[in-house]
Amino acid sequence: MLQRLLESRALRWAFVAAALAFGVVALVGYGAEVRAAARDLHWQAVVVALVAATASVFVPVMGWRALMAGFGSPLRVTVAIRVVFLSQLGKYLPGSIWPFLAQVELGREHGVPRRRSLTVGLLTVGISLIMGLAVAAATLPLVSPTAARRYGWVLAATPLLLAMLHPYVLNRVLDRILRLTRRPPLESRLSLRTIAVAAAWATAGWLLAGAHIAVLAVDLGARGDSTYVAATGAYALAWSVGFLVVFAPAGLGVREVALTAGLAPVLGTGEAVLVVIASRLLVTVADLLLACVAVLLGRRHVAALPDELAEAASARAAARGSAQESARGSAQQSAQESAQESALEPTD
């Protein structure tokens, strides 16, 4: 019964409609903040900041796509956009499970096993968090020592978290988690190249996010060469702290405090608060815009689905063949080594 519900196209469109409605409600809730931003910000700066914010939200999908390919499910860019940005609408619904559940079910339409979709979704968030902390650790001590000291407990974990991205560690952690949850191991292992590509896309996302903060800050009077560095480090730290402080829904409140603290060296408190508010508004608009693009791509999905499923099946068959060939090679090598050892043993 549950399986039929999850596979229902009507239910999926109901999910999209409800999530969009909640997103619009969240947007309308910024009425007072929008009036304040309109009074103090120039429209040209808002447009440039919106472009940068939209790019920062879009770029990580390429890292998600790289991880999918690394696990044996290469997907087209248009498919990745549809799956990720429709599922991300779930964060506007009450509860934290909806984005992951939607991603799993949308991925299954394109031949991606549920276990793989869930693993890649969680890995994408984890890599984004680690690279965000790395960006903050590399920038904030240079421009905002106060913020670095205040949130030093977060930044101190960065070296250990970066070490966990090594394939030797990461693949074993994934195997252990799957074993503890009584799930079969994943068919493929992540390579250093795949992890590096995903981390690079995540880092690019943070750099673009910093750009949209810097544009708003400069428009409100921030001056100096350190504005972009402070904006990038402050935003990366704010998002990471908001994610780690689990009792705050979507990091609400916690992220604003952290971002204001990080911007303090280049901007007054009042202006920093306005940047924080305008940023949350622009990121919400970016989410809804990309979701609308994903909905439009859904029209092409029905026609392209047979080809996509065939491609996914071919990729899985190739991965299985490669794994079997590797296993046969290892078995033959072991047999040869055993035969050589037996030949070298002295006879009575």
Taking only the tens place, the pLDDT of each residue in 233-257 is 999 988 888 777 654 444 456 777 8
pLDDT in tens, 267-285: 877 788 888 888 888 888 8
Give the distance, in angstroms, between the CA of residue 57 and the centroid of all CA atoms in the same chain.
9
What distance in Å separates the CA atoms of residue 130 and residue 116, rounded to the nearest whole number?
21
Provide the pLDDT for residue 336.
55
Residue 347 has pLDDT above 70, yes or no: no
Who wins on pLDDT, 22 or 218?
218
Contacts for 181-188: CB closer than 8 Å, 24+ residues apart: 183/115, 184/115, 186/71, 186/115, 186/116, 186/119, 187/71, 187/72, 187/316, 187/319, 187/320, 187/323, 188/70, 188/71, 188/72, 188/319, 188/323
pLDDT in tens, 287-332: 888 888 887 876 555 444 445 445 545 555 555 555 455 445 545 5
DSSP 121-175: HHHHHHHHHHHHHHHHHHHHHHH-HHHHHHTHHHHTTHHHHHHTTSHHHHHHHHH
What distance in Å separates the CA atoms of residue 109 and residue 300, rounded to the nearest whole number?
13
What distance in Å separates the CA atoms of residue 88 and residue 287, rounded to the nearest whole number?
8
Who wins on pLDDT, 53 or 30?
53
Say if CB 147 and CB 261 are below 8 A apart: yes
Task: Return the domain boundaries, the chain.
Answer: 2-295
Q: What is the pTM of this model?
A: 0.75
Provide the pLDDT for residue 310.
52
Rounded CA Rg of the chain: 23
Average pLDDT of the chain, as a whole number: 76
Q: Which two tokens stand for residue 69?
A: 């390919």
CA separation, residue 226 to residues 136, 154, 209 (Å): 14, 22, 16
Average pLDDT over residues 176-193: 84
pLDDT in tens, 157-176: 888 999 999 999 998 888 88
pLDDT bucket at 99, cuts 50 / 70 / 90? confident
Q: Which two tokens stand for residue 135?
A: 């960006």
Q: Which two tokens stand for residue 14?
A: 């109901």
Provide the pLDDT for residue 10.
55
Provide the pLDDT for residue 201.
96
